[in-house]
Structure 1
């Protein structure tokens, strides 16, 4: 991924030589909310009920190359709070960032930057957006727990490798 994982690595966004001698850089250019929505289908009755919700948190990332070395990464976080079978609220935020990514010669390295490093930078902003929307809707404070995007990316790679290693079933004709 990036050289920032080693103890002697430069700070994020700084440059470090890779094996080919080129400078690796991941520079944050812009962070913005691409989309946000909040639904409270049971309002106002939901505010008269005892508040012990079951939370479901869904996270998705998407990376799209832009001009030159620019990359847009979008982190989508959806939180659904249910009281029993009823949805108390549903909130979604798409936190986006534009990054300059240079000096990564291997496609796997650039993919890891887009799928793990950039979402790690975006998540605190998405968490704040979600928490603000939930609180403005009249609900108690919501603190999303940190997410290890590096581990999620490695899981994704392992699943993809396992699927590639599994032979496709042969079609039989009778």
Structure 2
């Protein structure tokens, strides 16, 4: 079977949980509080080459829940994937890494965060759907506006 060495390749090599942390620094006293908790959610994306044509893309969620300015619980989870991406034009490579790969990894992250909250004895925190294309385009516009001193 002949293999075309120049054919575009996009394959998921592995999706895995890279890091997970749960903290309840004020337990058990804070568990007696009756106030409604305030939930703050932050997402971060990262990508790095692992080998020639192989990239690790990760999405990290940090969920901080507070009651009266005291931390009820803090969950930080980093879900990652290893992707083989070859023979893709440079102008298409960054959108694949910044949009397609996080879209594959993110549902796993959502499930992990929800599960950890439940196992910690709290109602599940369900991360909202994310439009990674809109995030990527906004980031590109920011970089273009910041402009000249970028390499």
Compute the TM-score of the two structures, normalised by the length of structure 1: 0.77
CA deviations 1:73-100 (Å, max 9, x no partner) are 1111111111121111110011010011
1:65 aligns with 2:49: yes
How many residues matched?
Answer: 144
* Stretch of structure 1 that moved more, 39-48 or 152-161: 39-48
Partner of 1:26, secondary structure, is strand
CA shift for structure 1 position 51: 5.3
Q: Return the structure number with greater relative CO, CA threshold 8 A, min gap 6.
A: 2
- Higher share of residues assigned strand: 2
Question: Deviation per CA, 1:96-140, whole angstroms, max 9, x where unpaired?
Answer: 10011122112x321111111111111110111111111111111
**Unaligned 5+ residue runs, structure 1?**
1-21, 167-174
| Partner of residue 129 from structure 1, selected from 112, 134, 137 | 112
Length-normalised TM-score, structure 2: 0.88
1:46 aligns with 2:30: yes
Shift of 1:41: 1.1
Alignment of 1:94-113 (within 5 A): 94-106=78-90, 108-113=91-96
Equivalent runs, 1:142-153 vs 2, <5 Å? 142-153=125-136
Alpha-carbon RMSD across the aligned residues, in angstroms, is 1.6
Matched residues in 2 for 1:51 and 1:150: separation? Answer: 37
